[in-house]
Amino acid sequence: MNSRLDELFASLHLSSPTPKGPITYLIVGLGNPGAKYDKNRHNVGFHAIDVLAEKHRISIKNAKFHALVGEGEIAGQHVMLMKPQTFMNLSGEAVREAANYYHIAPDHIIVYCDDVSFDVGHMRIRRKGSAGGHNGLKSIIAELGSDQFPRVKIGVGQKPHPDYDLADWVLGDLPAEAQKVMPDLYAKVAEATEMILEGHIEQAMNQYST
């Protein structure tokens, strides 16, 4: 009986209570759903948002807006964390639906995505900008009709040679050695996000862009 009570009390502390008031920020991790894509370079956005969720005890398990979502409070903001389940090329559909429903402006949507321009272990924060060839960002820009949203770009390494197919590269798994350095990077992504939510995006860009 005592063990069951212990399990019950432990489960009650797995998730933080949902804050009152409207959702003020949407934080989106990009990736492809399904176990076979889990370790892909393209899925680092999913992993980064999982780390943020765990840090702040937010459960991303509710199915809504063609995505898995969860609500909580980070840095004094009522946030919704999102992992679109539409596959990368249609990520914008989930983002648009949530943004329209909660009346969230693009500058209050933070997106985590992979970037082949940076080495593994590096990240870069941008306040706005083009898709840069990333299909997930391209979909979000098209659906929102705006590129004025912050994004955290997570380095997954450059293609081994220019002729290497980009889709094959990003849908390939990160090597084991690369995977070892990612947890520290995801922790930095979470710290940078907290800084952005506190209204210090320029400081986050300067401190965490490497």
For the stretch 125-157, pLDDT in tens is 999 999 988 999 999 999 999 999 999 999 999
What pLDDT is attached to residue 19? 77
Residue 1 pLDDT > 70, yes or no? Answer: no
What pLDDT is attached to residue 59? 95
Q: What's the mean pLDDT when you consider all of the chain?
A: 91
pTM, rounded to two decimals: 0.90
What pLDDT is attached to residue 12? 45
**Residue ranges per structural domain of the chain:** 18-208
Topology (CATH level 3) of domain 18-208: Rossmann fold (3.40.50)
Residue 20 pLDDT > 50, yes or no? Answer: yes
Element (H, E) at 195: helix 176-197
What pLDDT is attached to residue 112? 98
Instruction: Report residue 9's pLDDT band, with 50, 70 and 90 as the boundaries.
Output: very low
Q: Report the alpha-carbon distance of residue 95 to residue 210 in Å, rounded.
A: 27
Please state the rounded mean pLDDT for residues 67-71: 97
Which pairs with CB-CB distance under 8 Å and at least 24 residues apart come from 202-207?
A: 204/125, 205/125, 205/126, 205/127
Q: Report the alpha-carbon distance of residue 151 to residue 158 in Å, rounded.
A: 19
What letter does residue 40 receive in the DSSP assignment? B
What pLDDT is attached to residue 8? 46
DSSP-assigned states of every residue in 147-174: --S-EEEEE----SSTTS-HHHHHTSBP
What pLDDT is attached to residue 99? 97
Residue 5 pLDDT > 60, yes or no? Answer: no
Please state the rounded mean pLDDT for residues 200-204: 95
Catalytic residue status for 78 = no
For the stretch 148-181, pLDDT in tens is 999 999 999 988 888 898 888 899 999 999 889 9
Radius of gyration for the alpha carbons in the chain, expressed in angstroms and rounded: 17
Catalytic residue among 42, 47, 108, 122: 42
Question: Residue 174, by phi and psi: left (phi above 0), alpha (psi -120 to 50) or beta?
Answer: beta
For the stretch 85-110, pLDDT in tens is 999 999 999 999 999 999 999 999 99
When comparing pLDDT for 14 and 125, which is higher?
Answer: 125
What pLDDT is attached to residue 2? 53
